[in-house]
Amino acid sequence: MPDTFSFGIDPLTCHAWNHDHSQLALSPNNHEVHVYKWSDGKWKLSDVLAEHVQRVTGIDWAPKSNRIVTCGVDRNAYVWTLQPDGKWKPALVILRINRAATCVKWSPLETKFAVGSGARLISVCYFEQENDWWVSKHIKKPIRSTVTCIDWHPNNILLACGSSDFKARVFSAYIKEVDEKPNATSWGSKMPFGNLMAEFSNGSGGWVHGISFSASGEKVAWVGHDSSISVVNAADGSKLTTLKTDSLPFVTLTWIKENNIVVAGYDCSPAVFSYDGENVVLIARLDDSETKQQQGSKFSAMKHFRSLDNRATVESNDTTLETVHQNTVTQVTIYAGTKANCTKCSTSGIDGQLVIWDLRSLENSGSNSA
């Protein structure tokens, strides 16, 4: 059974875990970030970070340095550091953008972070010791519309970004002040800052909603609004494989093994797909494997009439969905494990719920449902 936590009726815009998932930061679709601590079997609100003046669009929590970075519609980003007295202190980052920030991610070594924005550019920010502030550098060309999603390559240099100009791109975000000269990768060997390493079109249309590098960085996968999932394998000559699914579009994804991705979106139900070099194939829907064991999927007349009787109605106006999430899932993140081997993942959505899914049972029941 997946663990479900409800945080009210407001949608959860985004969420992030600390290094041992004992703490959770999320935004309930407003300008605040709520930090929760796990104690006595439930989530207790421990802090409210209220520095943004408009809706918070992205949160990321650096596991090693324990810093939180947030970005919002107010065109700002803040880096929050935990003080000895337990309070979070914000540091404003001047992104120099004239549109809303849409997403933010710490780099793997936590020396910099990247912010996507509606200003059609990515702000890569690093800390300058002499002036004690965060400096931002822009990646602009050839992005032609809002940057909707970003993800870092494990080498701390390359950055994948999806945009509403229907393209997925890989850029170099090499900053000489904080980075060592990188070795050549399958994406290329020359990596000056802002260099476009690769660009892919999302089929014949559809915004790119989510993008993710695999654990090794050799593959990048993205989901588009045309209900498609695409994978590019740089190790195999940048071969592009696309699967056009028969469900509503997915908006978020992450790799959970070197060849498996979990996606979620408008159909309110996370699903696991596998990439074998040639095809992208559906392996399992996380809702099926969890809830089917609980109740039979057969319609029970007895249950139906009993529930009608309870509510004293003539017909059933039940709008509850059969899936765990009752509305679109907007984010899926790794909860336990790494991109190479994820044992649990968490999803949050417009229904105000945060659900933790156990992926290990997938391997056990996989052989049954296959």
Binding residues for other proteins, rule: CB under 8 A, are 120, 144-145, 165-166, 201, 203-206, 224-227, 244-249
**In the complex, minimum distance from the CB of residue 285 to other proteins, in angstroms, rounded to a whole number:** 13
Report the residue number, 87 or 244, with the smaller CB distance to other proteins: 244
Report the residue number, 8 or 205, with the smaller CB distance to other proteins: 205
**In the complex, minimum distance from the CB of residue 333 to other proteins, in angstroms, rounded to a whole number:** 25
Report the residue number, 247 or 361, with the smaller CB distance to other proteins: 247
**In the complex, minimum distance from the CB of residue 58 to other proteins, in angstroms, rounded to a whole number:** 23
Long-range contacts of 223-228 (CB under 8 A, 24+ apart): 223/249, 223/250, 223/251, 223/252, 223/253, 223/263, 223/265, 224/166, 224/249, 225/249, 226/202, 228/202, 228/203
**In the complex, minimum distance from the CB of residue 305 to other proteins, in angstroms, rounded to a whole number:** 30
Do 334 and 343 touch, CB atoms closer than 8 A?
Answer: no
User: Residue 115 region, left (φ>0) first, then alpha (ψ -120 to 50), else beta?
Assistant: beta
For residue 259, give the nearest of 221, 211, 203 by alpha carbon.
Answer: 221
**In the complex, minimum distance from the CB of residue 204 to other proteins, in angstroms, rounded to a whole number:** 5
Q: How, if at all, do strands 353-358 and 342-349 pair?
A: antiparallel
Report the residue number, 182 or 203, with the smaller CB distance to other proteins: 203
Bridge partners of residue 242, in order along the sequence:
230
- Name, in order, each residue with C-beta under 8 angstroms of 233's C-beta and a sequence gap of 6 or more: 218, 219, 239, 241, 275, 277
**In the complex, minimum distance from the CB of residue 270 to other proteins, in angstroms, rounded to a whole number:** 17
Report the residue number, 210 or 352, with the smaller CB distance to other proteins: 210
Report the residue number, 30 or 247, with the smaller CB distance to other proteins: 247
**In the complex, minimum distance from the CB of residue 238 to other proteins, in angstroms, rounded to a whole number:** 19
**In the complex, minimum distance from the CB of residue 205 to other proteins, in angstroms, rounded to a whole number:** 4
Report the residue number, 155 or 227, with the smaller CB distance to other proteins: 227
Report the residue number, 52 or 325, with the smaller CB distance to other proteins: 325
**In the complex, minimum distance from the CB of residue 243 to other proteins, in angstroms, rounded to a whole number:** 10
**In the complex, minimum distance from the CB of residue 146 to other proteins, in angstroms, rounded to a whole number:** 11
For residue 251, give the nearest of 220, 225, 231 by alpha carbon.
Answer: 225
Report the residue number, 173 or 251, with the smaller CB distance to other proteins: 251
Report the residue number, 244 or 311, with the smaller CB distance to other proteins: 244
Bridge partners of residue 260, in order along the sequence:
257, 274
